[in-house]
Structure 1
Amino acid sequence: MSLTSPFSLTIIAIIALSFLGLPIGHAMIASSIFYLLLAGLDMGTAAEQILNGMYTNYILLAVPLFILAAELMNIGSMTDRLMVFCNAIVGRFRGGLAYVNIVQSIIFAGMSGSAIADAAGSGKMMQQLMTKDGKYPASYAAALTAVTAVIGPIIPPSIPMVIYALVSDASIGYLFLGGVIPGLLMALAQMGIVFFDARRLNFPVEKPTPVRDLPRITWEALPSLMMPVVLLGGIYSGVTTPTEAAAVAAAYALLISVVLYRSVSFGDFYRSVLASARTTASIGMLIAGALIFNYVVTVENIPQTVAAVLKAWDLSPTGFLILVNVILLILGCLLEGTTILLVVVPVLIPTARVLGLDVVHFGIMVVVNIMIGLITPPYGLLLFIMTRIAEVPLRDLVRDVLPFLWAMIGALVLITFFPGLVLWLPRLFGYQG
């Protein structure tokens, strides 16, 4: 392909505009319109692709609703009560607060679907608890908070899985089920590092919660603990679609916070809606840019070209999975996860189908890769978020993240080469793939 071809100039324009500081979504929209101009195509196609993609995909409504649910939990006392419950369960062990950090992320994962929401909400609270009175080094607490936040979009619900379903036509329900065991496996890998570090660094043992207090603590946290049950129960019982379940989750979080816990003022609610709208708008611009850029990719037959190149390499399914993992781990160091899902993954899916790979297994592997990218230097979005929250140097944070990163890559290897870890639960619920 010539460097002066319309497609090559489009790629150059996207990179140039991004380096100049334009958000990637805006850069893709502007550059794709530039392609239509160079290729002599109707420039109104850009608006047509964006409008058709945005307004005919009912599934996209789940994204702002899951974001709103997470915001409502953060402003209410749901997160506080969950934290007390987690501390009562695992806080009594050496390094107890570190285990609490992991367990609360597992529970919170069943509510928000967003790693950033986890880190900015319950993660910020854990950072304060762990560093109080110098119990844990600030950089270690920040590193652990960053890596535990990664669990959020792997255990259902998951905003990245919603976006993957959009580009692959895979079932959201089965994707959600497929993420449960991999998410728990990632948490187990993190707990293994904490177990080793707790003894090596002599982490403190928290005061154990009296057994007689456990029923009361559990009862107070029960409404919060029931949210994943309400959310996932509605999906898998067939009562609600995933998008309707997201609306139920947001309504349930509001109901519990306002009526039962009485911990949300009108001002808090307004700010949470505003924050949700801003986050949704940024994701929406990315999706809009990807929709028109994917049209350009389709016109240029890029997926077929990539498939032909890979076929010429005579890759086996295993070889293809290794190649995809390497590509996604490298891209995760440099690009934002949603961009990878919307721009890169659609090019890989046709080849995965031709090789007979299961689309749900492939999707979970992709999402895990992208989540690991959130804590991988140099870009790692969660690393930058935690340096601001914890006010620690990036180099110290990266040093403490690396052992967890290697452990999570080890878990990714198991997820990649043992599809049964992903597909066991979906098949239990009738998945035929």
Structure 2
Amino acid sequence: MTLADPFTVAILSILGLSILGLPIGHAMIVSSTIYLFLAGLDMGTAAEQVLNGLHTSYVLLAVPLFILAAELMNNGSMTLRLLEFCNAIVGRFRGGLALVNVLQSIVFAGMSGSAIADAVGTGRMMQKMMTEGNRYPASFAAGLTAASAVIGPIIPPSIPIVIYSLVSDASIGFLFLAGVLPGLAMGLVQMALIVFIARKREFPVEAPVPVRDLPKITVRAFPALMMPVVLLGGIYGGITTPTEAAAVAALYALFISIFLYRSVTWKGTYTSVLSSARISISVGMLIAGALAFNYVVTVENIPNALKAYIAGFDLSTTGFLLLVNAILLALGCLLEGTTILLIVIPVLIPTAHELGVDMVHFGIVCVINIMIGLITPPYGLLLFVMSSISGANINSIVKEVLPFLFAMLILLLLITLTPDFVLWLPRLFGYKG
């Protein structure tokens, strides 16, 4: 491979255009077209791959619908009622607001499917609550919010899992089920760490919510708490496909916000639709670029070349998964998660198949790796998001997030080595893997 090689030129084009500020999706489309021209292939193939990929991928419709549901929740009072409920449950303990931060991420995970949506939505509110009256340092609140937001896309519904299903052909329903226990385990690990840190740093104890108020708070939050039941009940009850369930989730959020809570006007609804459309377009362009570039990768026979290269190391299934962890964690420090799912994972899947790796277990391991990458220095996206929201210095946020990062890496290792833990719930619902 030389600098004049079409594939090398395509890679350098992506890097160069990205450095110049062109969105990565656009850069991949341009670079794929350049590759086709230099290789003497029909340049219209790039457009053909994009159109065919988007037209035949019914599952992709779930992405904008989950984004819309999250936007409607954030603009309505559903999020506030969920926070009130979480505070009533765990707010009374030392470091209570920190525990609330994690619990709300677990609850909110069943609704948005996006770590960024969690951080920008409920995370912004938690940052304000935790730093009010100097209860917690801004850097700790920001670091914790970034770490807890990682839980969101692991527990269903999950936009990264939808995208993984697209590239792997694994069942979305079983992937959603497989994410439940690892997501809950991650939440419990974070909460246990908070209990330790709260005692060591003498974080404040909040005034407990009177027991007599718990039924009223629960009733107020009940419609919002029912969203995961509606969503997952439809999927596993055989009533809806995952894409149809995403549409039901968006409609449910709209109905609750407008007619039951009466917290969103029709103008607010328009704003939510417009905002979700902008986010969906950016995700759509990234997927379009990946579809075009994946054709280039296929023409170059990269998956088979990588499979042959890895076969030379004579790795076991466990050894391969550990290698994948190392690769994805390293890439997660530098690249956005969707890019890794669309470009890197398809290259690894043939080798995983060859070694007999279960595709559902592999998907959860990959998604957890990518989510951890969002809080991994130096370029973890959530670190920058929370720095912008909190005003805290990136270095101070990194210092606070490191204990949570190490704890999650240990959990990732356990999940990697124990596929039965991930697959227990899917098998309970009939998965044969």
Matched ranges for 1:199-348 at <5 A: 199-348=199-348
Residue in 2 aligned with 1:380?
380
Of 2-11 and 44-53, more deviation after overlay is shown by: 2-11
Match of 1:401 in 2: 401
1:119 aligns with 2:119: yes
Q: Equivalent residue of 2:215, what SS?
A: helix
Alpha-carbon distance in 1 for matches of 2:217, 2:26: 48
Higher alpha-carbon deviation: 96-105 or 266-275: 266-275
Percent identity between the two aligned chains: 71
Displacement of 1:55 after TM fit?
Answer: 1.0
Shift of residue 2, structure 1, vs aligned partner? 2.8
TM-score for both structures, normalised by structure 1: 0.99
Q: Distance in 2 between matches of 1:189 and 1:330?
A: 23
What is the identity, as a one-letter code, of the residue corresponding to 2:72?
A: L
> Counterpart in 1 of 2:356?
356
Shift in Å, 1:381: 0.6
CA distance in 2, matches of 1:10, 1:213: 62
Secondary structure at 1:193's aligned position in 2? helix
Most deviating of 256-265 and 8-17: 8-17
Residue of structure 1 in register with 2:71 after alignment? 71
State the partner residue of 2:173: 173
In structure 2, the residue matched to 1:28 is 28
Aligned to 1:14: 14
Question: Over residues 97-133 of structure 1, what are the superposed CA-to-partner deviations in whole Å (9 max), with x where a residue is unaligned?
Answer: 0100000000000000000000000110001100110
Once residues 409 and 321 of structure 2 are traced to their aligned partners in structure 1, the CA distance between those partners, rounded to angstroms, is 14
1:418 aligns to what? 418
Instruction: Report the Cα offset of residue 274 of structure 1.
Output: 1.1
Unaligned runs of 5+ in 2: none
What per-residue deviation string (whole Å, max 9, x for no partner) do you get for residues 134-158 of structure 1? 1011110011111110000000000
CA deviation digits over 1:314-333, x for unaligned, max 9? 11111111110000000000
1:370 aligned residue: 370
Runs (5+) with no aligned partner, structure 1: none
Deviations 1:399-422 (A, max 9, x none): 101111000111101110000111
State how many pairs are aligned: 433
In the TM superposition, what is the alpha-carbon distance from 1:3 to its structure 2 partner?
3.0
SS at match of 1:179: helix
2:233 and 2:356 mapped to 1: Cα distance? 31
**In structure 2, distance between residues paired with 1:369 and 1:427:** 23
Q: Which amino acid aligns with 1:178?
A: A
What residue is the counterpart of 2:102 in the other structure?
102
- 1:64 deviation in Å? 0.1
RMSD: 0.6
Q: Quick one: distance in 1 between partners of 2:78 and 2:340?
A: 33
- Distance between the aligned counterparts of 1:8 and 1:208, measured in 2? 61
Aligned twin of 1:148: 148
Separation (CA, whole Å) in 2 of partners of 1:381 and 1:268: 28
In 2: Cα distance, 1:267 partner to 1:135 partner: 36
Distance, in Å, in 2 between the alignment partners of 1:402 and 1:317 is 29
Measure, in 1, the Cα distance between the counterparts of 2:185 and 2:410: 10
- The alpha-carbon deviation at position 185 of structure 1 amounts to 1.1
In structure 1, the residue matched to 2:92 is 92
Are 1:186 and 2:208 an aligned pair? Answer: no
User: How many Å separate the matches in 2 of 1:83 and 1:44?
Assistant: 50
Q: Distance in 2 between matches of 1:218 and 1:266?
A: 27
SS of structure 2 residue aligned to 1:3: coil
Provide the C-alpha distance between the structure 1 equivalents of 2:49 and 2:184, rounded to a whole number of angstroms.
38
Letter in 1 for 2:4: T
Greater displacement, 263-272 / 30-39? 263-272
Q: Deviations over 1:322-353 (max 9, x none)?
A: 11000000000000000000000000000001
Tell me, what secondary structure is at the counterpart of 1:2? coil
Aligned letter for 2:38? L
Between the aligned partners of 2:383 and 2:193, the Cα distance in structure 1 is 18
